[in-house]
Every structure is written in structure tokens, then in C-alpha cells.
Amino acid sequence: MNENDIILFTINNQNKFPSHRLSIIKERLEGMTSQESIIATSLDYQDTSMIICLSVLVGYLGIDRMMIGQVLLGVIKLITFGGCFIWTIIDWFIIGNLTKEYNYNMFMSYVNNLPNKAITPEP
């Protein structure tokens, strides 16, 4: 992936990833082929502001947790009505960071499953 595409991706998606991990993402994108980088940049990253809005509006239903892959916690939150709304209020403050970590983990999961280029097969 060329430098301009990497910069464009990080600028457009800086609100979807933890800021202290953007340098790692840039580094990983630099080592990808164009096909690999197209897939990495088109993964279904969750929008942080949308998840925060969901948490504020219907957080007691656990939908916010389910959207970031924490299905069991979402179901527990649904059954307990957001822990009698206490858990819901706490999530208003932490769900944004959890969403960014979810997106970063999704990116790293894809990168870690790429074939290792350092090992070349023998003829």
C-alpha cells in the first residue's frame, strides 16, 4: 500500500481506532500487498458515534454490547435491563473506547491471519 493511501485511511478512520494504536496500524498497512490492504481497509469497522448513540438511546437492551461482539454481555444486559440502568449509565462513558478496541482487534485479527511473507517455500 502506498504512503498516500495509508495516510488517507488513517485520517478517515482515526475516530474508529485507539489513537495510541494508529502507528501500529500504519506499520502493518505498509507491509501489505494491494489486495491485502483493500480487504483490510474494507472490513466492517463499527462507527464509534453510532454505538454511543445506541448506548444512550437503547443501551438497557444490550444492543451496544452485541454490536461490538460481546453477545453474552449484551444478553445479560438485556435480561437485567442494563443492570437496573446502572450498567447502562457506565457504558455511556466506556462504550466508545470498547468500540475502538473492537475495531483494532478486528484489524489485527485479519493481519495476523495473513500468510507470513518472510518464509518462502522451497522449489
- Res. 60: pLDDT tops 50: yes
How far is CA 59 from each of CA 27, 37, 55, 76, 103, rounded to the nearest angstrom? 35, 34, 4, 12, 20
d(CA 81, CA 93): 18
Average pLDDT score over residue span 19-23: 94
Note the pLDDT tens digit of each residue in 107-122: 999 999 988 654 444 4
Average pLDDT score over residue span 27-38: 90
Torsion, CA 100, CA 106, CA 112, CA 115, rounded to 10: -140
The residue to which cell 475495531 is assigned: 103
Res 115: pLDDT = 81
Res 114: pLDDT = 85
Of 88, 109, 90, 119, nearest in space to 39 by CA: 109
Residues near 48 by beta carbon (within 8 Å), at least 6 away in sequence: 15, 16, 96, 99, 100
Res 121: pLDDT = 42
